[in-house]
Amino acid sequence: MSEGFIPVAAPVLDGNERAYVMDCLESSWISSTGTYIERFERAFAEFCGVRHAVSCSNGTTALHLALLAMGVGPGDEVLVPSLTFVATANAVSYCGASPVFVDSEPDTWTMDPASLEERITDRTKGIIAVHLFGHPADMRTICAIARRRGLFVLEDAAQAHGAECEGRRAGSIGDVATFSFYGNKIITTGEGGMVVTSDDDMARRMRQLRSQGMDPERRYWFPVIGYNYRMTNVAAALGLAQLERVEWQLERRRQIVSWYRQELGDAVGLSFQAEKAWARHVWWMFSVVLDGDEPTVEEVMAHLRGRGIETRPFVHPLHRLPPYLRDRDCVELPVAEHLGRRGINLPTWAGLTREHVRYVCDSLQECYATSRVS
């Protein structure tokens, strides 16, 4: 972090990262084989409470591998929340299937189970439940609908390392789950992803697909078409070091969010993401939604940028993006559209201090005060 600038996210690399990466360099094991890959996969599976973790090159390839392993293909439909990063829907499209978009709950901002069932058709193959900004989706209700309708459930936990739903760790609830380790995530490998499952056959298929489809028992024999989706040993070394400190990361984020809540508790014109009693929110991002129409998101972000504070808007709802604006999907998803239009992510990462948070909140409220005067 440069002096006088507060980024919206930044990694904290103060554990064994340097030692483990130097071990890779000194041993020359820097590519897609090495002991750190095995160690990271084993440790991450234990962290999630599942039997298998399959590392890969990023969170998008993790989604693609999971969907392929679930048998998603042309003609299938997969239900996806509209308020999520575009990779969730893109991975469905990679399989030749169609994402079908679902609205959000107004308090948690995750997939609305009440809107889910009405979007199911005879072509629906499964559901991707996204744990948005670190709050788990309502997995009890979503999984009940899926069981009743014969659908798989994939947890997109890219933003939710360590989140819990009724005491169960994210990644252990659905049939399969995916994680991202991009540089702004709770734990990072720079770029990287992971698929987790307790299904032995699914794990075997994903390991084969990520390595060009090579038969694990017959070297350089490729019975299926696969992909080069492997993680490097160097990235896994970073990930293992980060995972060793994950509980510290999560505790720091809870502390930072408590500071935001204290500073903004009485602020007029702002709404916050809920934390349900059954959930453990891990606060990948602390976010606000601007009530009313003024000031605009652009005006607030510009004001904060002028004070040396980086922010980011919420994503555009996917059903409004050009690749997915099909006639059958021109539906009204009012909650997702409102959140996408009025939401802002504030700086949220483990290295922030109380003074940083106070400065962000003072600058935000200053913007509102200026807007009311004008």
Concatenated DSSP letters of 244-306: HTHHHHHHHHHHHHHHHHHHHTT-TTEEE----TTEE---S-EEEEE-SSSS-HHHHHHHHHH
Residuewise pLDDT in 10s, the chain (374 residues): 445 899 999 999 999 999 999 999 999 999 999 999 999 999 999 999 999 999 999 999 999 999 999 999 999 999 999 999 999 999 999 999 999 999 999 999 999 999 999 999 999 999 999 999 999 999 999 999 999 999 999 999 999 999 999 999 999 999 999 999 999 999 999 999 999 999 999 999 999 999 999 999 999 999 999 999 999 999 999 999 999 999 999 999 999 999 999 999 887 889 999 999 999 999 999 999 999 888 999 999 999 999 999 999 999 999 999 999 874 556 789 999 999 999 999 999 999 999 999 999 999 999 887 765 45
pTM of the model: 0.96
* C-alpha–C-alpha distance, residues 28 and 26, integer Å: 5
* DSSP E strand stretches across the chain: 52-56, 77-81, 98-102, 124-130, 152-156, 164-165, 168-169, 176-180, 193-197, 270-272, 279-280, 286-290, 312-313, 343-346
Res 346: pLDDT = 98
Res 284: pLDDT = 98
Res 330: pLDDT = 63
Residue 25 belongs to what H/E stretch? helix 17-27
CA dihedral sign, ordered 161, 166, 168, 170:
negative
CATH architecture observed for domain 246-373: Alpha-Beta Complex (3.90)
Res 325: pLDDT = 87
Bond preceding residue 295 cis, omega within 30 of 0? yes
User: What are the sequence ranges of the domains in the chain?
Assistant: 17-102+109-244, 246-373
* C-alpha–C-alpha distance, residues 56 and 181, integer Å: 10
Task: Tell me, yes or no, if the two domains 17-102+109-244 and 246-373 fold the same way.
Answer: no
Dihedral (C-alpha) 245, 247, 250, 255: value to the nearest 10 degrees? Answer: -100
Give the domain 17-102+109-244 fold. Answer: Aspartate Aminotransferase; domain 2 (3.40.640)
